[in-house]
A and B are shown apart, each in its own frame.
Chain A
C-alpha cells in the first residue's frame, strides 16, 4: 500500500508570501494529483502530473519520480488561497487514489 505524507500539516502565512507544500510517497506511481478543498466545499483538482512541472496561474506543481516527492507552490499568495491542499497518488493499472491527510493553509491579509 502506498503511504502518502504531506508537510506541513498546517501553514499560516501573510498575504503575498511564497508558499510551498510537500508530498512524499512510498511506492512508484502512475500519476500524482494535487487537490484543493475549501471548508464545507467539494474537492477541486488542481494538477495531475507524472513527471516534470506544471503551472497554472500562480500555482506550480513539480514532481521528482526518482525521489518520490512532489511540491505545490503558490506565488503571491492571497487570502482566497486559504483551503486544505491534498496530495493523492494513483498506481499502475489501478486509478484509485490514495490520499495524504492534507495541508491546511491560511493566508492572512
Chain B
C-alpha cells in the first residue's frame, strides 16, 4: 500500500510569505506527527494529532505555526510570516496510534522549505 506522502517536496518562498505543507498519512493510521529537521540536526517534534484533535502541540515554536487535520486523515502545517530561520525539512509521520500495541512511526519523504 501507499506510504506517507508529503507535498510539495520542495518549497522556496520569500521572507514574510505564508506557506502550507501537506501530509497524507497511511490509510487507517489515527496518529499523525509533524517534525522539523534543520541541517545537520536530528528531527524535532512540532505537533501530534490523534484523530482530528491536536493531542500535543508543545513543539510548535510560536504562534506563526499552526496545523490542522479536519477529517482525521490529511494534515496541513501552516506557517505565517515566514522567517529565514524556518528553513528546514518538515517531516510528517503516521502510526496506528497509542493503545494499539504498535506505535511504529512511518515517515514521509519530507518537504524542504527554503525561506529567502
Contact = CB atoms under 8 A, between A and B. Distances in A.
Nearest to A47: B104
- The residue among B43, B44, B56, B98 with the most chain A CB atoms within 10 A of its own CB is B43
A43 B107 contact: yes
Contacts of A93: 98
Nearest to A42: B109
A31 B97 CA distance: 13
Contact of A99 (B43, B56, B97, B110): B43
Contact of B48 (A4, A42, A96): A96
A99 to B, nearest CB: 4
Q: Which size class do A's interface residues fall under?
A: 20 to 34
Nearest to B50: A95
A99 B44 contact: yes
B31 interface: yes
Nearest to B107: A43
B98 A95 contact: yes
Nearest to A6: B42
Given A95-B31, A95-B95, A102-B42, A48 B109 contact: no
21 contacts: A4-B42, A33-B104, A42-B91, A43-B43, A43-B107, A48-B103, A48-B104, A86-B42, A86-B43, A88-B42, A93-B98, A95-B95, A95-B98, A95-B103, A96-B48, A97-B33, A97-B35, A97-B43, A97-B93, A98-B45, A99-B35
Interface of B: 31, 33, 35, 41-45, 48, 55-56, 59, 91, 93, 95, 97-98, 103-110
Given A42-B91, A95-B98, 11 more contacts: A31-B103, A42-B108, A43-B91, A45-B105, A86-B42, A90-B103, A94-B56, A95-B103, A96-B33, A97-B43, A100-B42
